[in-house]
Chains A and B, each alone.
Chain A
Amino acid sequence: MKNFLKLTYITLAFSVFTLSACNNDEDEIDTEKPTIDLSFNQAFPQNGSVLYFGESFTLNIRLADNFELGAYSVNIHSNFDHHSHSTEEEEEEEHHEEGEHHHHDGEEGDGFYFSQDYTIPSGSKEYTASNTIEISAHAPDGDEYQAGDYHFMITVTDKAGFSTFKSVGIEIKNR
């Protein structure tokens, strides 16, 4: 019994030791996701924005993080099937209800596709994305792109690897 108690003490001492050994340093870590602001007046693009083939447009999107921003990416792809992963459902529904467009008659055209990522100067907590993006008039093979509903998607990461994305419904037309 005496031996038994001894063993009990040893195991208890051991567990107290391991608990205290593991519980020392408290690193300061980021647990918050970065943010995307598209709500201010000059923000671009917004839900329902219209762009044109063969022309350029300039982003105006505010990005922020409590620790440090990482990078961001922009993706434009067709929404002819209305698969939608919009982050702003309500507005897009309205946009659809306007109903003068989509249901592409020119079946043959390719969907325009754009995907690009951009770096942010290290150490930035706030950054305004203001890149100029050109929407080419023709596909590399000379075919015309199909006009209609597209998704504009922006994803921002922070240094820790958290990400936030926003997606808006836009329309790309031929001028």
Chain B
Amino acid sequence: MQSRICAAVMVVCAYFVVSNVYAQSDSIPVVELNTVTVKRNTTARNISTSKSVETVDRGFITHNLGGSLSESLENIPGLSSINIGSGQGKPVIRGLGFNRVAVVEDNIKHQAQQWGSDHGLEIDQYSLERAEIIKGAASLEYGSDAIGGVINLSSSRIPQPHSLTADAQATTKSNNQFFGVSAGVGLRGENWFTTSRFTAQDYADFCVPKNFVNIYSYRISLNHGRLRNTAGKEYDGHFTIGYIGNGFKSRLIISNVNSFGGFFANAHGLEPRNVDTKVHDRSIRDILQPSQSVNHFKTALNVERWTSQYTLTADIAYQNNHRLERSPYVSHGYMPLTCPETYNGDPDTEYLYNKDVYTASAKLTIPHGRLNLKTGSTFELQDNQIGGRGFIIPSFTSIQSGLFVGADYQLTPTYKLEAGVRYDLGVIHTDPYSDWFKSEDEYVQRAQAIDRKFNDLSWSLGATAHSGKLTAKVNFGKSFRIPTAQELACNGVNYHHFSYEKGDPNLHSESAYQADCELTYGGRLFTIILSPYAGYFTNYIFLDPSPSFDRLYGCGNQIYNYKECEVGRYGGEILMKFTVDNRYVPMHNGKIDIEAGAEYTQAKQKSGSKKGYGLPFAPPPSAKVEGTYSMLIKKPTQQNRNSTAASLGAMVKTVAQQNHIVPPESPTKGYTTVEVSAGFEFKTPKHSLNLTLRIKNLLNTEYYEHTSFYRLINLPAQGRNIIINLSYKL
């Protein structure tokens, strides 16, 4: 905590020094800056890159508001979410997740414990203004982890000069009796601005449309379909202060996300348990053990300087991720039956992770006629300390730095070419670890000290063609990912999977080749986007269950080894948007929007002991159709500039069965869900008020999500959920 405050203070000081230097040099020529703040046009950006990019705004996130950010983004074709209960989730892009998706918030790569399937993403979704999803490898600019794609998030917009903005949102959900509020204010003089936001969420155990569940043929009855101990709460704060001048912009961000939630009590992870139902069913809102509490603190400084000759951006950041998993002390294997008094620590702390991350990056863009040159470098230091009675991964320190050079060239008004190359150097050191208890008369050493060094060269080539309503993009490249400490050095029983997991200190850096393209026809009333891709991993790293057991290290559990294998992948998404308005049919100031999308992804292991199988958590093919009727009830006029609008919508989503599995998964049946929504908006020139109602899983269908963390223990997805959201904006 002390180091966190220290870092924050240092960053604040550095910030004021830097800003004042520029404040002086820029105080003379004050130009209208409105154009500057909105200089990045999102659609223009989409055309300017050869990658397949999807951009959504705050409105999309509010409309699709799920229990977690990754669930809110799930409706974008190509994206899926590994949901952990009703309030946590981690994003998956085209079937790749965990450390294969880089989440970037305000230019800073979000680093937490993303290797664990039961770990969510610590982002306040109410704080986001925009989310940009790069589908496909993007190591060139984002480095390791971006092998599957990037989720690039922007929080708090810079307010207009001499303005005060305020907004408030309140959300309630019936299924888990969720209450959430978020309020933000923004203030700007001429050059200086500041924004703040606070978010609080509280939810109860969620419901499934069943009164019992079968976990490994063990029947557990549920009280009114509630999954015991899946309640949670979250408190987030977000603060920025910045300066925007002529050709200079800088912003300091301090944020903290704090969540506390329970794991389903009848399965500590994936192990069926008898619990004291009287204690658990007494309240649906209390959070008992097993539980996880996570705090993510982040402070970042973004600086941007632009002239007609160049644009320079620099970012430095400090993050701390503290994760505590608690469960009542239970003796497993050779552990003492009861926790000895000599045990140094809290006997109920099963795992503790404390990670400090320091990042620095700089990027320079130089336009030169039709040529646009860009170069940049990144640096990241991670220090992860462990605690608790259990052991999966050792403490580690890693340093990664990279250098990239790229260029794009406008060949003709229609065609644009781009190319880039990046070099990375990474070192990782893991600490040794021995058990605190004796197994067969010895303190088993689980981890040796490991020192590894990785070099990586990644590159990409792309072309964009844009002519009238048509856009075509092609992209080809090589990406990489440095193995994680868990993949190299884990050596312990994962009680979430009943498995003994063993790392391999000799793993190579994971590398992949990917080709993708995107074809877009974008008319006024009809848009179609087709985005196929194909890829090949020379060595995909995954956890491979073997038929053998281990006694000394694994308490007699099945051995799962980290292995490398070749993987071939292909698939794609299609999205169609169709609008019917007054022009063709008299709609009385209304219009109908129809959006249809489908996604397909297929991966197959081409070598190794699981040859022929797919990859874990593979999203099944799915399709959805959404229709929305919206109308302007009252148009704004000269006399009365107030307006009122309303909308009605329905969505049907069909998900196919998933038979392309890999042990220990089971095939998952297909399903269809229906969702309806209604919205009402009242706007004056200064205020706007928005009320939306959405019913998810309208028919209370019992279905299983193949990509849910709880799928392995056969827990169905949430039942009917009525979501009401009220938002106000000044």
CB <8 Å contact, B465 and A4: yes
Q: Which of A1-56 contact B (CB under 8 A)?
A: 1, 3-4, 7-8, 10-12, 14-15, 18-19, 21-23, 27-29, 31, 33
Task: Tell me whether B551 is interfacial, beta carbon within 8 Å.
Answer: yes
Q: Which of B485-518 contact A (CB under 8 A)?
A: 498, 515, 517
Q: Which residues of chain A are near B602, meaning CB under 8 Å?
A: 22
Task: Tell me whether B34 is interfacial, beta carbon within 8 Å.
Answer: no
Q: Which of B246-284 contact A (CB under 8 A)?
A: 271-274
A89 contact from B274, B463, B534, B659, Cβ within 8 A: B274
Q: Which residues of chain B are near A73, meaning CB under 8 Å?
A: 549, 556, 558
Q: How far is the CA of A110 from the CA of B438 in the complex (A)?
A: 14
Q: Which residues of chain A are near B340, meaning CB under 8 Å?
A: none
CB <8 Å contact, B534 and A117: no
A157 contact from B550, B558, B570, Cβ within 8 A: B558
CB <8 Å contact, B474 and A11: yes
Q: Quick one: closest B residue to A90, CB to CB? A: B219
Q: Which residues of chain A are near B532, meaning CB under 8 Å?
A: 15, 18-19
Stretch at the interface among B128-136, B379-387, B661-669: B661-669
The main secondary structure of chain A at its interface with chain B is mixed
CB <8 Å contact, A71 and B465: no
Residue interface bits A91-104, CB-to-B below 8 A is 1, else 0: 00000000000000
Q: How far is the CA of A85 from the CA of B217 in the complex (A)?
A: 11
Task: Tell me whether B161 is interfacial, beta carbon within 8 Å.
Answer: no
CB <8 Å contact, A8 and B472: yes
Task: Tell me whether B612 is interfacial, beta carbon within 8 Å.
Answer: yes
Q: How far is the CA of A78 from the CA of B330 in the complex (A)?
A: 11
Query: In the complex, how many angstroms separate the beta carbon of B553 from the nearest chain A beta carbon?
Result: 12
* Tally of contact residues, A, Cβ under 8 A: 53
The main secondary structure of chain B at its interface with chain A is strand
A160 contact from B272, B604, B663, Cβ within 8 A: B663
A163 contact from B467, B545, B667, Cβ within 8 A: B545
CB <8 Å contact, A4 and B664: no
CB <8 Å contact, B556 and A18: no
Query: In the complex, how many angstroms separate the beta carbon of A167 from the nearest chain B beta carbon?
Result: 8
CB <8 Å contact, B415 and A18: no
Q: Which residues of chain A are near B558, meaning CB under 8 Å?
A: 73, 155, 157, 161, 163
CB <8 Å contact, B465 and A14: no
| Contact of A15 with B534 at beta-carbon distance under 8 Å, contacts A1-B467, A4-B470, A110-B337 already known | yes
Task: Tell me whether A128 is interfacial, beta carbon within 8 Å.
Answer: no
CB <8 Å contact, B472 and A33: no
Q: How far is the CA of A85 from the CA of B275 in the complex (A)?
A: 10
What would 8 more interface pairs be, CB under 8 Å, given A27-B612, A160-B610?
A7-B463, A33-B666, A70-B548, A85-B218, A85-B274, A88-B218, A117-B549, A157-B545
13 A–B pairs (Cβ distance < 8 Å), ordered by A = A4-B470, A11-B517, A15-B534, A28-B612, A31-B661, A73-B558, A83-B273, A89-B219, A89-B274, A113-B334, A161-B544, A161-B546, A161-B663
3 closest pairs, A vs B, by CB?
A: A70-B547, A27-B612, A161-B545
